[in-house]
Amino acid sequence: MLIHLLLLPLLASTWAKPTSYAIWSADSAISRGQGNGLGSNGAPLVSYEHGEFWWALRLLYEKTGNKIYFDYIRQGVDRVVAANGTIGGGYGFTTDYQLDPIRTGPTFLYLYDVTGQQKYKIAADKYRQQLETHPRTAQGQFWHKLRYPNQGWLDGIYMGDVFYAQYTHDFQYSNKSAWDDVQAQFTLMFENTLQNATSPPHLLYHGYDYSHAAPWASPDRGHSPESWDRALGWYMMALVDTLDIFPPAHPGHAALLSFFRTLAPRVKAAADAQTGVWWLVLSQPGRAGNYFESSGSAMFVYALLKGVRRGHIEDDGIVKAMRKAYGYMVENWAIPNANGTIDWQNTVQVGSLDGNGTFEYYTSVPTDVNDLKGLAAFTLASIEYENL
């Protein structure tokens, strides 16, 4: 009875439908143990999905002051960063040369900043060291992974280059060649994947192969055939987050801003007129088999709302459009459970340029419930929405 009385208010405060979907989605993921630095087998895992979620939890901590979020981040990171700063959790460094794990790096830098603990700096140094020798195309773009030679994927910008910028900001602010290099990563990706004037919706293809060796590489520029919503979502989030970090006086700041200003209205225009959200394959709206996908949609809402809030773009109907998209997301994809948690629907599991990169490929990949890539993006979108 006593336990019952004590638990009731606790449960009520934890699980009553809160006024904040940011809190509700984050608390639900935490109750399921998602993004805790462990893989499904219980072993430590360096995961970009966890990195994305930690980023959202950090913003939520800063907004609410609720230390639960901070403690969850730290506990998760401490599972993959040993007391001596060694990164465990399957991190491959030079054997793999992948950009994906580096997405956890901004959180290492954050923890170093607020705790001063050296192990987080040692771990961040390791990622920075990887970038120093990471293989590149002849133009200088980091390969997405060692096993994808000469390939730049939009995803990699969010995974590797937000960290690169933050590290440079924190420890090498006057290192011009590092800032030049961060600028080059965004620029090469933009130029090599931009859809030309005869290819609507004039967004970005998923990636390109500078050597044109991949089966999907176009004869003209080596780009992949379709524009995939989540890839562009990663790129848009990377732009808007890196603009916070980039020195305003360096020309890279204006370059990133121009990419964002070019893409934002086109992203808005590419939304489905009726629902306000976005197709999985942006380049083939309405085609049979295509569908409204939740992770890319949430990323666009986060990036565009933040872009307006930070003054990077004029509103110009963007807030209204994002409100409409957000309304659809909440109504259709954020589904309450009887126990007070929320389920996040309709996030596509993967979209890789490992295969043939066709419409048939993207639409053949199943969707998941509570996929952290989409759920964390919904938390981010909700934080921005609730800032309005």
Ligand X SMILES: *[C@@H]1O[C@H](CO)[C@@H](O)[C@H](O)[C@H]1NC(C)=O
Positions 83 through 112 that interact with ligand X (CB under 6 A): 84, 86
Query: What x-and-dash track marks residues 187-226 binding ligand X by CB under 6 A?
Result: ---------x-xx------------------x-x------
Contacts of 373 (CB under 8 A, 6+ apart): 49, 52, 230, 295, 347
Positions 4 through 33 that interact with ligand X (CB under 6 A): 31-32
In the bound state with ligand X, the residue whose beta carbon lies nearer, of 115 and 356, is 356
Contact call for residues 281 and 226 (beta carbons, < 8 A): yes
In the bound state with ligand X, the residue whose beta carbon lies nearer, of 136 and 144, is 136
In the bound state with ligand X, the residue whose beta carbon lies nearer, of 7 and 388, is 7
The radius of gyration of the chain from alpha carbons, rounded to an integer in Å, stands at: 20
In the bound state with ligand X, the residue whose beta carbon lies nearer, of 70 and 362, is 362
Q: Is 220 exposed, middle or buried (0-12, 13-18, 19+ CB in 10 A)?
A: exposed
Positions 235 through 294 that interact with ligand X (CB under 6 A): none
CB of 96 to ligand X, least distance (A): 19
| CA distances (Å), origin 362, targets 51, 58, 320, 355 | 24, 32, 29, 10
Query: What x-and-dash track marks residues 123-162 binding ligand X by CB under 6 A?
Result: ---------x------------------------------
Positions 40 through 59 that interact with ligand X (CB under 6 A): none
Which of these ranges, 67-75, 277-285, 333-341, 371-379, lies near ligand X under the rule CB under 6 A? Answer: 333-341
Distance from C-alpha of 299 to C-alpha of 268, rounded to nearest angstrom: 12
Cα angle vertex 233, ends 322, 186, to 5°?
125
Helix 48-64 with 105-115: angle, nearest 10 deg: 40
Nearest Cα residue to 82 out of 32, 129, 116, 117: 117
Other beta carbons less than 10 A from residue 304's beta carbon: 28
Which one of residues 78, 265, 355, 386 is an interface residue with ligand X (CB under 6 A)? 355
CB of 83 to ligand X, least distance (A): 7
Which of these ranges, 81-89, 93-101, 286-294, 309-317, lies near ligand X under the rule CB under 6 A? Answer: 81-89
Which of these ranges, 56-64, 170-178, 257-265, 288-296, lies near ligand X under the rule CB under 6 A? Answer: 170-178
* H helical segments located in the chain: 2-15, 21-31, 48-64, 67-80, 105-115, 118-133, 154-156, 162-171, 176-193, 229-242, 251-270, 294-309, 318-333, 359-364, 372-387
In the bound state with ligand X, the residue whose beta carbon lies nearer, of 138 and 220, is 220
Which one of residues 291, 364, 387, 388 is an interface residue with ligand X (CB under 6 A)? 364
Residue type, 47: S
Contacts of 286 (CB under 8 A, 6+ apart): 279
Which one of residues 42, 311, 339, 366 is an interface residue with ligand X (CB under 6 A)? 339
Tell me: does residue 349 bind ligand X (CB under 6 A).
no
In 3-state terms, what secondary structure has residue 281? strand
The DSSP output letter for 76 is H
In the bound state with ligand X, the residue whose beta carbon lies nearer, of 218 and 367, is 218
CB of 89 to ligand X, least distance (A): 11
In the bound state with ligand X, the residue whose beta carbon lies nearer, of 151 and 341, is 341
Contacts of 31 (CB under 8 A, 6+ apart): 341
In the bound state with ligand X, the residue whose beta carbon lies nearer, of 82 and 319, is 82
Tell me: does residue 341 bind ligand X (CB under 6 A).
yes
Residues in contact with ligand X by CB under 6 A are 31-32, 82, 84, 86, 132, 172, 175, 177-178, 181, 196, 198-199, 218, 220, 337, 339, 341, 355-356, 358, 360-361, 364
